Structure 1
């Protein structure tokens, strides 16, 4: 392998891939948290409106639905980065390190395939809704590309996180 002026390949990959992806996953988690705070605020506002004034925004259910979808997908990369996603620990405890690394690589590749396919179809839907100007069939008339775009952003961050995890798995093999 060629010698790099900045250090080893491991250092270059850590600085150039792993750290930026970790930062992006943190940004996704912060955005998800802000969406949650917005939903809490909206729910409290709706309670006050209904309880004291007999009125409603008429969009709470819709916005909370969009918020939950956006939060879920925007936080996925952060969960992957922090290893807080669901794992099958039974296998991890009984197989050797080389087989475990093979399983990890296979799992990442399967997840990349599934999420890339999901990304592709949601991206098509976002573009179609943007081009057509499609809005929700509710009082709010929300442009549908907005909530779908947040889901797409979250899936994109997850894809980057999976690529970073694959790089980490390969680096662990070398180290």
Structure 2
């Protein structure tokens, strides 16, 4: 672990970010439990009685998408994303701080565009009444909302990173 990594968990920019992170953790945990139960149940039924639930593949796909987005948001908040530490650590502190701000600002801008565009796709499916060609016939806008929601969670934690990066450290002039 490098000198700038957080070993005690993520640094918070305030209680609202802590609450959002906690809600994302709970939702992620519940979906992970449901995913494991669904996959194990499907495997058991196929092996034991040669029966398939039929809808398991569809739901597991939706669950994996949600877990990917929410997991990325939580990893971003915890500072657990990949970076080239030996290069980053070699930079002066002021340069590292500026890079953190630049990264968060650019990534936030991109996330906002992704939220906007993926929400447009979901709203288009809602307006046109599109359904998945699957056993459940899920209205497409429901799983499609996972993407703008996931990008929004990432954006929220990017805002937190920006707030933390622009704050002056305690004791600084």
Deviation per residue, 1:60-86 (Å, 9 max, x gap): 222111111111112222212211122
Which residue of structure 2 lines up, in the alignment, with residue 10 of structure 1?
none
Shift of 1:173: 6.0
Say which of 49, 66, 72 aligns to 1:76: 72
List alignment gaps of at least 5 residues for structure 1.
1-13
Write the distance in 2 (CA, Å) between the matches of 1:57 and 1:164.
42
CA change 1:29–1:75 in 2 (3 A) is: farther
Shift of 1:94: 0.5
Say which of 112, 123, 130 aligns to 2:126: 130
Q: 2:59 aligned with 1:67, yes or no?
A: no
Write the distance in 2 (CA, Å) between the matches of 1:146 and 1:27.
19
Return the TM-score normalized by structure 1. 0.83
The count of corresponding residues between Structure 1 and Structure 2 is 161
Shift of 1:155: 1.3
Which residue of structure 2 lines up, in the alignment, with residue 97 of structure 1?
93
Shift of 1:144: 1.6
Equivalences for residues 131-146 of structure 1 within 5 A = 131-146=127-142
Write the distance in 1 (CA, Å) between the matches of 2:100 and 2:58.
38
Write the distance in 1 (CA, Å) between the matches of 2:119 and 2:22.
23
Higher share of residues assigned helix: 1
RMSD of equivalent CA atoms: 2.0
92-101 or 80-89, larger mean C-alpha shift: 80-89
Return the TM-score normalized by structure 2. 0.84
Q: 2:67 aligned with 1:42, yes or no?
A: no
Equivalences for residues 12-51 of structure 1 within 5 A = 18-51=14-47
Say which of 103, 106, 110 aligns to 2:102: 106
Deviation per residue, 1:68-120 (Å, 9 max, x gap): 11111122222122111222212321100101111111111111122111111
- Runs of 4+ aligned residues of structure 1 deviating over 2 Å after TM superposition are 172-175
Write the distance in 2 (CA, Å) between the matches of 1:118 and 1:67.
20
Shift of 1:157: 1.5
List alignment gaps of at least 5 residues for structure 2.
1-10
What SS does the corresponding residue of 2:167 show, helix, strand or coil? Answer: helix
- Checking the alignment, whether the CA contact within 8 Å between 2:70 and 2:153 is kept in structure 1 is yes
